[in-house]
Amino acid sequence: MIHAVPPSLSVVLPAWNEAGRLDAALRGVAELRALVPDVEGLLVDDGSVDGTAELARAGGLRTVVHPENRGKGAAVRTGMLAATGLRRLFCDVDPSTPLVDVLPMLAALDAGADVAVGRRDPSGRRSPPVAPRRAALSHTFRGLTRLIGVGVHDSQCGFKLFTGAAAEAIFSRTRVDRYAFDVEVLLVARELGLRVVEVPVRWGDAAGSRLVIGKDGPRMLVDSARVLMHRAAGHYR
């Protein structure tokens, strides 16, 4: 449902064949609505074939559907530009970070930030350690993002909050549809001179991750190079 008066917060959930994990997201949105007035739940179905969109609608979420799979970056872009909230959060359907952890991030925006980025806090870890190869990839990628200059420690945390104005400015400029889209988002924010802060959040490795180290790792690096090319061409100004 589109609100005549903008909701205080939009929660954007990119999803591809997530029917089996959607219940957790619906519970999280319900818990958040008990704490934050007027929350818009928006799911972007990125070409699912398992009834994800239908389940989301039945659970009270507004839905936008891509007729075919375009990638998480494209789904997040669609959702952030379709959302109507004064603040806009994107996060994964899985319960890696509890939705209520957005509360201190909302406070950061109240204090003047344009973007609040979740920083995964090892002390709040809710699952066993990640596999060594995945941990190595994350470490390598964090080093690359520092070289690119996105200005945050944990660019890959899938829990990011924006003012409505920042979301419009950033996502109208992004171009990466799949890998490294988080890096692009943060780089665009930096290019636009927006204030970005990191806020610790709880996290855990939820079952069902689709990351394939041998295939997706190189693709993330290639997309990072594309981001640098777009910046050099002036596409983010």
The two beta strands, 87-91 and 115-125, are unpaired
Burial track 35-65 (b if 16+ CB lie within 10 A, e otherwise): ebeebbbbbbbbbbeeebbebbeebebbbbe
Tens of pLDDT, residues 166-176: 999 999 999 99
3-state secondary structure of 63: strand
Note the CATH number of domain 9-232.
3.90.550.10
180 vs 108, more confident: 108
Confidence of residue 208 (pLDDT cuts 50, 70, 90): low
Prediction pTM value: 0.86
Sign of CA dihedral 155, 130, 25, 31: negative
Tens of pLDDT, residues 121-163: 765 444 445 555 555 556 555 656 665 667 788 888 899 999 9
Q: What tokens were used for 186?
A: 């943060």
